[in-house]
Structure 1
Amino acid sequence: MNVLILTDFSETSGNAGRYAVDFLQKTAANFYLLNIHNFNFNRAASDHLETELVGTLSQLQSGIKTLKKYTGNKEHKFHTILSSENLIGAVRKALIDKKIDLIFIGAVSQDEHVHPILGDHAYDIVRKIKCNIIAVPTGCTYQNLKKAVFPVDHAILSGEEKDRILDNLDYLKTSEFTLLEIKDGDIEYPEPVNDKVPFKTPVPFTRELFRDIQKQFDIIFIIGKNLTICDRLLHTEYGFSAHMNVEIPIFVYHG
């Protein structure tokens, strides 16, 4: 398995790296630590460029050394990627070059959304990158993910597609899934038939519901094409995370 971890050398991204190692503690994996740095290549700045480049590479190597000490799996291999491209371009290039299967990124607290680097990363990645992604909140440590909640909007996801996803899911195999049927406005939803996992009564996906979810479950599992739920969770201006802390990881599934 090939795994991409985005880092800006903050504690939030460092925590996401440790979470990635713990999440895949029993799986052989290549971990790629990606940092995106806006180097100034103007001639006037050339005196500082080498120092800046060496310093950034040193921080990447330090991050790798930390994760090597942290893991207990000898089949975990660690590599660095340094890019001066924009966020989405750098991630897309890594997906192709390294054949990435899973991305880990730190999700900041509500107080950190003003941060010019941290603030929009998780939201932009979730919306624009078609790869399985786990957004790890600040301070969230890995635990056995016994209870997963799967918000489902039947206007977006058919019952057949939902069953196919659960039957072929390579992750969270030991988790107990609760499907939470979400309603939006006056849309009519078909009745679920022969569901393997119980549905709750259709409910609006509100801030209060999200607060209850975080108390009852270990991870949120959502489908990447369900942009409404992604927006409500991670949008940096009007999403839930702009007004309250995300406390459990969010798995955005793209297949």
Structure 2
Amino acid sequence: MNVLVLTDLSRVAKNAGTYAVQFLADVPAHFYLLNIKLFHPEHPPEFPENHPRDLAINLLQQRVLELQELSTCKEHKFSVLYSENDLVGAARKFVLEKNIDLIVMGAANKLHSPNTIIGNHTFEVITKVKCNILAVAENSRYRTPRRMLFPIDYGVSLPQENLKFLQRPQIANNAGITVMEVGYETRPESGGSVNLFFEPLQDRQIETRKIPIAEAFSEEQLEALQQEFDLIVLLGKNINICSELLHKEKGLYARVTNELPILVLHQ
């Protein structure tokens, strides 16, 4: 597996990289740490205002040493990348060039600096880069995923290709899935079957809950979900759900503190 870790070397981004190495502890993976010149809203004092490429790469290599020490898998590899392109452009370039299977990035909470690029642009990357993305909240601490929440609605088709990432060996393979049918009242008669969609994951324990739209996206609901689940899984093309939860200004997680990592699946 090839993993692109977007990092500005902030505490939020470092936590995301740490989580990724732990999440993929049993998966042979090549981690590419990508730094973009603009990713330094909280740079340490030794950074000059226009820091040179060599300094950024040096700091990335130091971070690689930390992750290598954390890793318990002999088949983990680490490389560093640097770009001065815009965030989305650089991510798209390296997704293609390095055949990336998963992007990892930090997601700052509501109290974090509004200038933290990696926090403010999580939604932009999710909607504009067609690659599986793991967005790790700054307060997320790794624990073995046992319960995954998978909200869906019926404003989108349900192609089984979106589930390929979860079919990989050792990807949260002991975690059950709770499918939360949001707005089930408006489910079309001709709509795709949820049971059929999840057939490729029948080796997992799967349960279904139904919840009205009016009750799905509230601070109270979020608090309850964080107590019950370890990971949230979304379909990238399920724009309604992603917007309600993740929009960088209007989404639920822009207003309240979220501690759950979020895995967004693309085809």
Q: Which structure 1 residue ranges, 5 or more long, are not aligned?
A: 40-47
Which string of whole-angstrom CA distances, capped at 9 and with x for unpartnered residues, describes residues 91-145 of structure 1?
0111111110111110111112512423322111111111111100002121110
CA distance 1:50–1:245, shift in 2 (3 Å): closer
Task: Describe how 1:41-52 pairs up with structure 2 within 5 A.
Answer: 52=52
The reply to whether residue 25 of structure 1 matches residue 25 of structure 2 is: yes
Instruction: Choose from 210, 226, 237 the match for 1:214.
Output: 226
Instruction: Choose from 167, 170, 186 the match for 1:169.
Output: 167
Amino acid at match of 2:258: V
- Hey, what does 2:186 align to over in structure 1? 187
- Hey, what does 1:106 align to over in structure 2? 106
Task: Describe how 1:122-137 pairs up with structure 2 within 5 A.
Answer: 122-137=122-137
Asked whether the equivalents of residues 134 and 252 of structure 1 are also in contact (C-alpha less than 8 Å), the reply is yes
Which string of whole-angstrom CA distances, capped at 9 and with x for unpartnered residues, describes residues 168-222 of structure 1?
73233321001110018x7344485767633212322212322221111111111
The reply to whether residue 243 of structure 1 matches residue 255 of structure 2 is: yes
Amino acid at match of 2:136: V
- Hey, what does 1:227 align to over in structure 2? 239
The reply to whether residue 202 of structure 1 matches residue 201 of structure 2 is: no
CA distance 1:215–1:251, shift in 2 (3 Å): same
CA distance 1:182–1:27, shift in 2 (3 Å): same
- Hey, what does 2:82 align to over in structure 1? 82
Asked whether the equivalents of residues 162 and 265 of structure 2 are also in contact (C-alpha less than 8 Å), the reply is no
Amino acid at match of 1:74: K
Over the matched positions of the two proteins, sequence identity in percent amounts to 34
- Hey, what does 2:70 align to over in structure 1? 70
CA distance 1:219–1:61, shift in 2 (3 Å): same
Amino acid at match of 1:214: Q
Q: Which structure 2 residue ranges, 5 or more long, are not aligned?
A: 40-47, 197-201
Q: Secondary structure at the match of 1:200?
A: strand
CA distance 1:235–1:51, shift in 2 (3 Å): closer
C-alpha distance in structure 1 between counterparts of 2:225 and 2:109, whole Å: 17
Paired residues, number: 244
C-alpha distance in structure 2 between counterparts of 1:136 and 1:49, whole Å: 28
C-alpha distance in structure 2 between counterparts of 1:219 and 1:67, whole Å: 22
CA distance 1:49–1:233, shift in 2 (3 Å): closer
Q: Which has more radius of gyration?
A: 1
Asked whether the equivalents of residues 113 and 242 of structure 1 are also in contact (C-alpha less than 8 Å), the reply is no
Amino acid at match of 2:67: L
C-alpha distance in structure 2 between counterparts of 1:49 and 1:138, whole Å: 25
Amino acid at match of 1:121: H
TM-score by length of 1: 0.86
Asked whether the equivalents of residues 244 and 250 of structure 2 are also in contact (C-alpha less than 8 Å), the reply is yes
Asked whether the equivalents of residues 113 and 236 of structure 1 are also in contact (C-alpha less than 8 Å), the reply is no
TM-score by length of 2: 0.83
